[in-house]
Amino acid sequence: MIPSQMLKGTLEGCILKVIDEKETYGYEISERLKEYGFFDISEGTIYPMLLRLEKNGMITARKKESPVGPKRKYFSLTSDGKKELHNFFESWEELCVAVDNVFKENSNE
């Protein structure tokens, strides 16, 4: 289980990446995250993030017919969202290198 404090800073970037793969809706985002190993992420966590990302201009939403039930809200990245995703990934790579360096250094003692 990934501690919630560790997830806090990375989940939005991962949600942007899932949306970047294809236009998608909240439940599908939740299922994709589970496929990637984020098992403990509830839709109650994802939907407020989607609203914040939409409010901040990172994603847009449009309602589309659903094969079952009411219309669904589908999300796609804006150009600002694509920039944010790129920046997130660059920062993530730097963080991974730094953490790896710390653990490699300490494992030699």
Q: What is the CATH number of the domain that holds 56?
A: 1.10.10.10
pLDDT band at 75 (very low <50, low <70, confident <90, very high): very high
Ranges 29-33, 68-72, 95-99: which has the least confidence: 68-72
Average pLDDT of the chain is 91
pTM of the full structure: 0.88
- Specify the number of domains making up the chain: 1
Residue 40 belongs to what domain range? 4-107
Which residues have C-beta within 8 Å of that of residue 1, sequence separation ≥ 6? 39, 40
pLDDT band at 68 (very low <50, low <70, confident <90, very high): confident
DSSP state string for 34-96 = HHTT-TT--HHHHHHHHHHHHHTTSEEEEEE--SSSS-EEEEEE-HHHHHHHHHHHHHHHHHH
pLDDT band at 89 (very low <50, low <70, confident <90, very high): very high
